[in-house]
Amino acid sequence: MDSNRYKRKILIDLDGVLNKYGQEEQFNENFIPEIREGAFDFIKDLSNFSELYLFTTGNLMLSAKWLIDNNVDEYFKDVTNVKLP
């Protein structure tokens, strides 16, 4: 039996949740701030029992690159701008 089959889907917002999003970044669509302290461990722990999706209304390719640059891409199934069921 595949244990991943029964994992819950969790969408995690990028801006202000996983990164240090502030006023100065609000209008720059080509920049994603650095990862928030504690976010790496939060993501890693949550991925043990959940299927993670990065949720953002921003640039999906830039957001996927941000996951790679912050070494958390392996914990996410996908990057999306759609609220999954």
Chain segment 13-58, per-residue pLDDT in tens: 998 899 988 766 566 778 899 999 999 999 999 999 999 999 999 9
pLDDT at residue 1, rounded to an integer:
45
pLDDT for position 30: 85
2 has pLDDT over 70: no
Q: Please spell the DSSP secondary structure of 36-83, one letter per residue.
A: PTTHHHHHHHHHTTEEEEEE-SS-HHHHHHHHHHTT-GGGEEEEESS-
pTM of the model: 0.85
Kindly state the average pLDDT of the residues 3-21. Answer: 85
Do 18 and 39 touch, CB atoms closer than 8 A? yes
Q: Both tokens of residue 44?
A: 């890693």
